Amino acid sequence: MSTEHLIVALPPHERSSVSISRIMWAVVLALVPTTVAGVFFYGIRPLVLTLVAVAFAVAVEHLVVRYLFRRETTSITDGSAVVTGMLLAFNVPASLPFWQIALGAVVAVGVGKMAFGGIGNNPFNPALVGRAFLLISFPVDMTTWPVPGAARLSLDLSAVTGATPLALVKDVGSAGLGQVDLPSYLDLFLGNIGGCIGEASALAVIIGGLFLVWRGFIPWQLPLVYLAGLAVVTGVAWVVNPGIYVDPLYHVLAGGAMLAAWFMVTDMTTSPMSLTGRIVFAGSAGVLTGVIRLFGGFPEGASYSILIMNALVPVIDRHIRPRTFGHGKSGGAA
């Protein structure tokens, strides 16, 4: 046999079948239950809104790679732009005008990701960059919430709106929580409440998140630590004054905490590299979320807390390193 066509390469010659695109498309699949829940509670509009966000996110990435980076290939097949589009759509009210979500997607991918060089190089979570941009630019539309089941087949959800569970408990003042009619834990868990598309159903988010844990793409510790951090801060406030502060379970189930815990805190590119570092990152983000919810200007703090922690990732990576074999005290003879 002729050997001139043999490939010569350094070891290892085996490669894991896990590729970037496999990870990203798994995340897309994990977001499907939340999409379904969104449609179930708010009708057809959230689905259309998500598709618009995804379409613009993908289009921007493609155009930037082709005409600004001048590359022959495109990177959109890796699925990461699809993830960003979906997460952005899940972080806005179902009633948001289409042109606004489109603009948000352009900023999320164009500024949040491609401006830094594309996949892997962005310091901040692109979807949250998009959401922060939308919240600052269109504060009214971004805080007007349709109520569940108002208009299942209509694209106009502006007729019946209500407050989110977190807005209900924000700054209740001296009158206390007694005067507000809070949703039940079951409604919070299932998603029968007002809020962003992906904030609604804690159950749907958990199903998707558990799928990613099972596939080995996210460590199970991160969502738990994030939610624990949130629960501790809100728990302390609740113990001190249960009259005006709602209990930690309510905080964990309400708002964007679940989506943040399973899909934002676990974002690979914008979190630290060592497991210990990632746990510190997640716990700190949880604490910050609670602090913003209790004492900040906004009823919800999930996205800002994560953006703040994103900025601290290089610091965490510098100071928290994995334990190196043979350097610890456990070395030496028994």
Partner 1 sequence: MQKLKTFSIGGVHPPENKLTDHMAIRDLPPPPQVAIPVSQHIGKPGQLQVERGTTVRVGTLLAKADGFISAAVHSSVSGTVKKIDSVIDSQGHRRQAVIIAVEGDEWEEGIDTSPELLEDISLDRGAIVTRIAEAGIVGAGGATFPTAVKFSIPEGRTIDTLIINGVECEPYLTADHRLMLENADELIVGTRLLMQAAGVARAFIGIESNKPDAIELLQERIRLKAGEGKIPEGFISVLALQQRYPQGGEKQLIQAATGREVPSGKLPLDVHCVVSNVSTTIAVYQAMQKNRPFVDRIVTVTGKALVAAGGGANLRVRIGTPLGAVIEAAGGVPDGTGKIIMGGPMTGRSVTSLEVPITKGSGGVIMIDRSEARRYAVGHCIRCSRCVGGCPMGLEPYLLEKLVQKERYEEAEALSIMDCIECGSCSYSCPANRPLLDWIRLGKGKVGELRRARMRGTT
Burial classification of residue 59, based on how many CB atoms lie within 10 Å of its CB (0-12 exposed, 13-18 middle, 19 or more buried): middle
Do residues 217 and 27 make contact, with C-beta atoms less than 8 angstroms apart? yes
Question: Minimal distance in Å, beta carbon 50 to partner 1?
Answer: 23
Question: Minimal distance in Å, beta carbon 47 to partner 1?
Answer: 28
Q: What are phi and psi of 172, to 5 degrees?
A: -70, -15
Question: Minimal distance in Å, beta carbon 259 to partner 1?
Answer: 20
**Cβ nearer to partner 1, comparing 22 with 66:** 22
Question: Minimal distance in Å, beta carbon 300 to partner 1?
Answer: 27
**Cβ nearer to partner 1, comparing 1 with 153:** 1
**Cβ nearer to partner 1, comparing 8 with 153:** 8
Task: Please state, in angstroms and as integers, the Cα–Cα distance from residue 202 to each residue in 80, 95, 227, following that order.
Answer: 23, 20, 12
Do residues 280 and 320 make contact, with C-beta atoms less than 8 angstroms apart? yes
In the complex, the residues that contact partner 1 under the rule CB under 8 A are 1, 3, 5-16, 18-20, 22-23, 78, 80, 117-121, 268-275, 278, 321-328, 330-334
Question: Minimal distance in Å, beta carbon 321 to partner 1?
Answer: 7
Question: Minimal distance in Å, beta carbon 182 to partner 1?
Answer: 40
**Cβ nearer to partner 1, comparing 250 with 263:** 263
Do residues 171 and 108 make contact, with C-beta atoms less than 8 angstroms apart? no
Please work out, in degrees rounded to the nearest 5, the angle formed at the alpha carbon of residue 70 by the alpha carbons of 68 and 74. Answer: 100
- Most distant CA atoms of the chain, gap in Å: 89
Do residues 114 and 64 make contact, with C-beta atoms less than 8 angstroms apart? yes
**Cβ nearer to partner 1, comparing 102 with 306:** 306
**Spatial separation of the C-alpha atoms in residues 227 and 118, rounded to whole Å:** 30
The tokens 């449609």 sit on which residue? 39
**Cβ nearer to partner 1, comparing 37 with 218:** 218
